[in-house]
Amino acid sequence: MATEISTQPSLLPAAKSFVSRVRALFEKGLEEPQIWETACGYLRELLEDEELKAHTGTWPDSLSVEGKPGNLLFYEDPDYGFVLNALIKAPGLKTSVHDHGKSWTLYGVLEGAETVIRFERTDDGPKVPKTATVREAGTHEVFPGYIDFVPPWEIHQENNNEQRTIGFIVRSQRSGTFVQNRFDLETGAVSQYDGPVQIPYELN
Ligand SMILES: [Fe+2]
**Among 179, 129, 133, 183, residue whose Cα is nearest residue 156:** 183
Tell me the per-residue pLDDT of 142-173, one tens digit each, with 9 for 90 and over.
Answer: 999 999 999 999 999 999 999 999 999 999 99
Question: Ligand 1 centre from 46 Cα, in Å?
Answer: 21
**Alpha carbon of 64 to those of 20, 156, 196, 199: distances in Å?**
30, 20, 9, 10
- Predicted confidence at residue 69, as pLDDT, reads 82
User: CATH code at 122?
Assistant: 2.60.120.10
- Asked if residue 125 belongs to a domain, the reply is yes
Contact status, residue 162 vs residue 91, Cβ threshold 8 Å: yes
Query: How many domains does the chain contain in total?
Result: 1
How far, in Å, CA of 109 to CA of 78, rounded? Answer: 25
- Provide mean pLDDT across the span 80-109: 95
Q: Please report which confidence band the pLDDT of residue 105 belongs to, taking 50, 70 and 90 as the band edges.
A: very high
Question: Ligand 1 centre from 150 Cα, in Å?
Answer: 8
- Asked if residue 128 belongs to a domain, the reply is yes
Helix (H) or strand (E) holding 186: none
- Asked if residue 7 belongs to a domain, the reply is no
Counting residues of the chain whose pLDDT is more than 90, the rounded percentage is 86
- Predicted confidence at residue 7, as pLDDT, reads 54
Domain range spanning residue 40?
13-200
How far, in Å, CA of 46 to CA of 52, rounded? Answer: 8
Question: Ligand 1 centre from 130 Cα, in Å?
Answer: 19
Question: Ligand 1 centre from 1 Cα, in Å?
Answer: 33
Is residue 6 over pLDDT 80?
Answer: no
- Asked if residue 6 belongs to a domain, the reply is no
- Asked if residue 130 belongs to a domain, the reply is yes
- Asked if residue 4 belongs to a domain, the reply is no
- Predicted confidence at residue 66, as pLDDT, reads 72
- Predicted confidence at residue 63, as pLDDT, reads 76
Contact status, residue 173 vs residue 81, Cβ threshold 8 Å: yes
- Predicted confidence at residue 1, as pLDDT, reads 46
- Provide mean pLDDT across the span 80-97: 94
- Asked if residue 112 belongs to a domain, the reply is yes
Give the Cβ contact number of residue 199 at 10 Å: 14
How far, in Å, CA of 182 to CA of 171, rounded? Answer: 18
What predicted TM-score, i.e. pTM, was given to this entire model?
0.93
- Asked if residue 8 belongs to a domain, the reply is no
**Alpha carbon of 136 to those of 5, 18, 119, 127, 198: distances in Å?**
42, 34, 4, 18, 29
Q: Please report which confidence band the pLDDT of residue 8 belongs to, taking 50, 70 and 90 as the band edges.
A: low
Question: Ligand 1 centre from 195 Cα, in Å?
Answer: 9
Question: Ligand 1 centre from 4 Cα, in Å?
Answer: 31
**Among 49, 100, 23, residue whose Cα is nearest residue 87:** 100
Question: Ligand 1 centre from 52 Cα, in Å?
Answer: 22
Is residue 187 over pLDDT 60?
Answer: yes
Question: Ligand 1 centre from 157 Cα, in Å?
Answer: 6
pLDDT, greater one: 62 or 37: 37
